[in-house]
Structure 1
Amino acid sequence: MRKYIGEIMLITTAIIWGSGFVMSALSLDYLSPYQLLAARFLIGVIILSIVFHKRLRKIKKSTILKGTVLGLFLYLAFALQTVGLQYTTASKNAFITAVNVVIVPFIAFFMYKRRIDIYELTGAFLAIIGIACLSLQFSSGVNIGDLLTLACAFGFAYQIFYTAKYVKDEDPILLTVVQMAVAAILGWAVVVLKGDTNFSFEMEGVLSTLYLGVFSTTLAYCLQTIAQKFTNETKTAIILSTEAFWGMVFSVLFLGELLTPRMAIGAIVILGAIIISETKLSFIRKKETKEEHNVL
């Protein structure tokens, strides 16, 4: 069971993020996208600082530097996704963001000459196909919103890649605290610079924002960072891509969206992607080896 602790944490993270689609839809009725980002990251750093205040005394300079890098990539990715959404469709925004799943292994290859696992790469491309079936409303043309969203995908890919790199030598909790703090500082700086300081305090908006801050930000990013001690960056990206699947599930359950055959196919393809990357088709290879042995 211990062998799969990372995968279990990442699946839990993806489920939480999937539920976040519903809560984001509710929050954005009351807050601007930039206000929502600033609020959720602030909630995250406050909760983590209170719960783990004793650990903060042991924080190292290296943790601050590495957490700052992660926080920069995290906020940049979210901001680019938010701006990109203003110029493209929500379905294309979600799909292009998910392209990070195939970017991650190539970052490892080009930066560290790390061998690309054919099964994980196959799983990554299958995940993209599955997400396309789930979310993409096919339309022609590429616009500035699509390009900004693609840049956002690179931001998330680098955040996943560097988390895997840094968490090997750093306390994952402290790394998450610094990451949240940097993202919160950037978030509030953008809100102030844009003059976007008129917040709504309607109860529904407050509760949905609290959910995003407590679960989709604090808990989810803690789980992701800890999980990456136990699994590699490519597998992490593939499992986290199931966020799209869980988003569909919660949208069907709570927002009344219709489940179409294409969405069902997408869900099956994503499941196949995880099976391939996780097992590397070992059950097939074992069967073939056994058959060859019997023939001999």
Structure 2
Amino acid sequence: MAARSNFLLLLAAAIWGLAFVAQRVGMDYLGPFTFNGVRFALGSLSLIPLILFHKNSLFLSTQAHDKFKKDWHAGITAGIILFSAASLQQIGMIYTTAGKGAFITCLYIILVPFFGIFLKQRMTINNWIGSFLAVTGLYFLCVKESLTISYGDCFELVGALFWALHILFIDHVSLKVNTLLLAFFQFLTCSLLSLATALFYETITITGIIQASAPILYGGICSVGVAYTLQIEGQKHASPAHAAIILSMETVFAAIGGYLILNERLGLQEFFGCILIMSGILFSQVKGFQLHHDTSLSKLIKH
């Protein structure tokens, strides 16, 4: 099960990494809230066929009503956290550079085990060393200018807090609710909140949506509908700290996608960063330094 979870999380990271390319192109035609609103709406719609296919087990069982209530409650909460994280990230990018924004956002891989301490989560030495290597790699990969804190950096840092909270919340509820319904209500909530905000702060045009149709389709179906569902499924059998390290690989895939699609070149510093990130992920898999065998947050929080 661990190998399957690792694969699903890594696949999600790859999809999200390539989504940076789609989002960069899409932002040429739409505002950040409009883009998020439309793509998360498309992501929720993409799950409807799967929900209908499993409708008998989801809605017709004797305990369906109680389970459904728990599913949509968890989905709305996850959607609010997701909306907060995605919005803060996009706003921060207006005032800071892409490299610094990506680095500060991915600090969630350190924040996850840090929050775990307050939630009485038992961590391993491997988690901490792997996180340190991964964050160092993210610095070399993303930051090419002096590391100073600006107005936009503050938005990115607060956004990183919400990304960490999202991972921890998904870990807490993933074994208690239906994966499909959790994902559907999460995307729907994020979409509605994003579109409502866009109505007040942005100009939504059909022309812009049509021009950004390709990035929206990838961002909606692949990045949202597929990848976030893979995250929920993958985190069922992976500790949140370990999941955060694997998901940070999205930055590596983003760099590869930028090189192949947008002709963005990688220097020695960037390649060194990729190596450090991979080392961090591999080190977190080593069993020799584990202090505790059970690191699942969902098993450490009383129900």
Alignment match, 1:41: 40
Whole-Å separation in 1 of the counterparts to 2:138 and 2:107: 9
- The alignment's TM-score, normalised by the length of structure 2, stands at 0.88
1:129-178 superposed Cα distances (whole Å, 9 cap, x missing partner): 11111111232531221111100000000000010010121111111111
Whole-Å separation in 1 of the counterparts to 2:285 and 2:32: 35
1:42-77 superposed Cα distances (whole Å, 9 cap, x missing partner): 001111123313266345211111111111110100
Whole-Å separation in 2 of the counterparts to 1:266 and 1:191: 36
Whole-Å separation in 1 of the counterparts to 2:30 and 2:268: 34
Give the AA of the match of 1:127.
A
Whole-Å separation in 2 of the counterparts to 1:204 and 1:240: 30
Alignment match, 2:254: 247
Alignment match, 1:63: 71
Whole-Å separation in 2 of the counterparts to 1:140 and 1:106: 22
Give the AA of the match of 2:151.
I
Equivalenced residues, count: 281
2:115 to 75, 82, 107: 107
Q: How does 1:1-296 map to 2 (within 5 A)?
A: 2-53=1-52, 54=55, 57=59, 58=64, 60-111=68-119, 113-201=120-208, 205-280=212-287
1:8-52 superposed Cα distances (whole Å, 9 cap, x missing partner): 000100110111111111111111111110011100111112331
Aligned 8 A contact 1:31 1:199 in 2: no
Give the AA of the match of 1:192.
L
SS in 1 for 2:170: helix
Among the aligned pairs, what percent are the same residue? 30
Aligned 8 A contact 2:105 2:156 in 1: yes
Q: Structure 2 vs 1, CA of residues 271 and 185 (structure 1 numbering), >3 Å: closer, same or farther? A: same
SS in 2 for 1:239: helix
SS in 2 for 1:229: helix
Give the AA of the match of 2:111.
I
Aligned-residue offset at 1:238: 0.1
Q: Structure 2 vs 1, CA of residues 193 and 244 (structure 1 numbering), >3 Å: closer, same or farther? A: same
Alignment match, 2:301: none
Whole-Å separation in 1 of the counterparts to 2:202 and 2:2: 49
Whole-Å separation in 2 of the counterparts to 1:203 and 1:114: 46
SS in 2 for 1:142: coil
Alignment match, 2:294: none
1:184-234 superposed Cα distances (whole Å, 9 cap, x missing partner): 110111111225322435755211211110001110001000001111100
Whole-Å separation in 1 of the counterparts to 2:183 and 2:286: 29
What are the ranges of 5 or more consecutive residues in structure 1 without an aligned counterpart?
A: 283-296
Answer with 139-148 or 239-248: which moved more. Answer: 139-148
Aligned-residue offset at 1:281: 5.0
Whole-Å separation in 1 of the counterparts to 2:202 and 2:58: 33
Q: Structure 2 vs 1, CA of residues 160 and 197 (structure 1 numbering), >3 Å: closer, same or farther? A: same
- The alignment's TM-score, normalised by the length of structure 1, stands at 0.90
Whole-Å separation in 2 of the counterparts to 1:172 and 1:68: 13
Whole-Å separation in 2 of the counterparts to 1:154 and 1:38: 21
Whole-Å separation in 1 of the counterparts to 2:206 and 2:231: 30
Aligned 8 A contact 1:23 1:208 in 2: yes
Q: Structure 2 vs 1, CA of residues 29 and 281 (structure 1 numbering), >3 Å: closer, same or farther? A: farther
Aligned-residue offset at 1:3: 3.4
Q: Structure 2 vs 1, CA of residues 172 and 41 (structure 1 numbering), >3 Å: closer, same or farther? A: same
